Amino acid sequence: MKKKVILFDLDGTLIDSTDAILYSFHKTFDSLGIENPSDEEIKNQIGHPLPKMFLSLGVDEKDTNRASDIYKSFYSKVHTAKTILLPNVAKALKKAHSFTRLGVVTTKTGKYSIELLKHLNIYQYFETIIGSEDVTYHKPHPEPILKALSNMGIKDKKSVWMVGDTCMDIEASINANIKPIGLECGYSDSKTLQNCGAIVLKSVSEAVDYIEDL
């Protein structure tokens, strides 16, 4: 019986959807007639829910939900074509699935997350997918992690890890009383992740090997 559990973030952890995200944000700002933020400004917000991202990027609070809907209309047309797996993720997940139970906890819309996981042929490894619409509070609140564990019937959290690339993933892990691992392959650097309280590794492959060896 598999006793270990790994929950993964999605963007910057398992997949690189940067091109799809940037394209959709720029098209949304064009549609709104608002000056476009830079690519770096957008990337610095990845991991937050869409309305919060738009608010941080200069959209009036009253318009953030409309901006999010416009974004989704563009994103839905390009997300599979403009998203790839990060290096060696498929191999690492296959290995992890042999000795752990797996789930995904993301602030991306669950519908698009499932479509991407199926398109990239890794959906079969996961028991649960928690997206932005599945919770009231998002990372760094513990609710998404706790809901994933509830869906999986996990009560004993001593062998549960969350693997992600931002401090939101790390802080959510700590708030949910599970073990965090930060990855350098995404949208945060090693020092930032360490300061948030994570063990920092380079990739999903390293994280899976580390957990297997424990």
Q: Is 11 a catalytic residue?
A: no
C-alpha count within 13 angstroms, C-beta hemisphere, residue 93: 26
Catalytic residue among 9, 11, 134, 165: 9
Q: CB of 108 within 8 A of CB of 135?
A: no
Alpha carbon dihedral 138, 140, 142, 148, in 10-degree steps, equals 60
Residue with tokens 């390293």: 206
Phi, psi for residue 184 in degrees, rounded to 5: -80, -10
**Of how many residues is the chain composed?**
214
- Cα distances from 209 to residues 60, 91, 92, 155, 166, in angstroms, run 45, 12, 8, 24, 20
Measure the CA–CA gap between 56 and 69, rounded to whole angstroms: 17
Q: CB of 14 within 8 A of CB of 8?
A: yes
Amino acid at 45: Q
- The kind and range of the H/E element at 29 are helix 18-32
Q: Which residues are catalytic?
A: 9
